[in-house]
Amino acid sequence: MTLNKSLLTVAIIEFGKSHDECLLSQINALIEKDDRVLLICQKDIWNRNRFLEPLVDDFIPFVTFSSWFKNIKQLLFLRKMLLQKGVQKIVFNTAQGSLVRDFTIIAPSKIELTGILHTIKKLQNSFTQKIISKKIKKYLVLNKTLYQRANKSNKLKLDYFYPLEFPSTQKAVKKIDGEVWVIIPGELEQRRKDLFGSLPLMKQAIKQCPNIQFIFLGKSNPKKPEVNEFLSLFKKNKISDNLVCFDRFLPFDEFLSYIKKADFLWPMVHPNTDSAQEYFSNQISGTINLSFSYNIPLLIHEYYHSWEDFKEFALLYSFSDFSKKFILPSSQLKDIQERLSQESIFAIKTQRKRYYDFLIS
């Protein structure tokens, strides 16, 4: 029997403590080609993504220090290890920040570097990114419209892919018959969501659809003044029964079990608010890929109608007609779900190919 030999040895590096939602798609794209995969990340990420253990050939924990000197020692050790393991390509899962900058400066010239950018703002005016881009010449962004809007340079190769793969979950959450679940992933915070601007919309929706549940799938820390104020407004308006939030971070399997039972997903982003400074000007919310992956209708303000994906595959609302989206005929919602499921760009096979072709190009 002839054994398949690995074509490449690829290291995926995440120095930070987030963006692990992008890892499974990349790893699956690589192992599908029989490539050898090394994962370098902090133990926090590894511990909450242990389903990756049987998929990767090696896990190398990375520890960050407050000391620049200790970090450099860590990076030099990592450089030596990657050479010893015969790594040919490195993908930085988050290709920004001082640790990425310092590593690219000392990176072996024989290893090709590719990066994923989570905000296209880094291509506009970041001095640190300019240093990084002296070594990383290939970047992926996470949405077609972001790619179209990005500041493109002749010196860099740029493309996009959609990380749409998430682990299966056996955990079950109870949903009462007749309830309508509007899921808002992420922490309850004004910086990332238009909490107070959305309150009138939620009141409007509850009046129209009393069995609606707005579920925040992220930690809601009542010690934060803005969180406490937001929750108190729900009590004041006597609509607390329509709100679900958690004072803890949800394990990923519990998080996904809620997502799978959602009727709608809502990033809760509006123009001219704090959240709009980033979403959807320079980056996307992780909610978008959850919608495309699980074929769940996405609630997006009509201001963002120019986005190709939103125009075709989201429910666009205004501040005056938000509540009407929850009494749409079931045939209209099924039509959106069917379009999402049949769109080839949202097929896992398509996105694995996009990612891999770009990596080896």
Domain boundary assignment for the chain? 9-160, 180-344
Residue 1: what pLDDT? 35
Kindly list the averaged pLDDT for each block of 10 residues, start to end, along the chain of length 361: 66 95 98 97 94 96 94 96 97 97 96 97 93 97 94 92 93 93 91 91 94 92 87 90 90 93 95 84 92 95 92 92 90 88 93 97 92
Per-residue pLDDT tens over the stretch 206-234? 999 999 999 999 888 878 898 889 989 98
Cα angle 111, 117, 122 (rounded to 5 degrees) comes to: 110
Strand partners, 140: 116, 159
- Residue 300: enclosing H or E segment and its boundaries? strand 298-301
Identical topology for domains 9-160 and 180-344: yes
Residue 277: what pLDDT? 77
The total of other beta-carbon atoms located within 10 Å of residue 234's CB is 19
CATH architecture classification, 9-160: 3-Layer(aba) Sandwich (3.40)
Contact between 9 and 38 (Cβ < 8 Å): yes
220: which residues sit within 8 A by CB, 6+ positions away? Answer: 187, 188, 227, 231, 245, 246, 247
Residue 2: what pLDDT? 40
- Residue 258: enclosing H or E segment and its boundaries? helix 252-260
Pairing between β-strand 36-41 and β-strand 58-61 as defined by DSSP bridges: parallel
The answer to whether the Cα torsion of 275, 279, 284, 288 is positive or negative is: positive
Distance CA 288, CA 294 (A): 10
The answer to whether the Cα torsion of 106, 156, 128, 117 is positive or negative is: negative
Model-level pTM? 0.92
Residue 195: what pLDDT? 92
Instruction: Look at domain 180-344 and name its CATH class.
Output: alpha beta
Distance CA 212, CA 319 (A): 18
Residue 275: what pLDDT? 79
Residue 6: what pLDDT? 58
Burial class of residue 274 in the structure, from the number of CB atoms within 10 Å of its CB (0-12 exposed, 13-18 middle, 19+ buried): middle
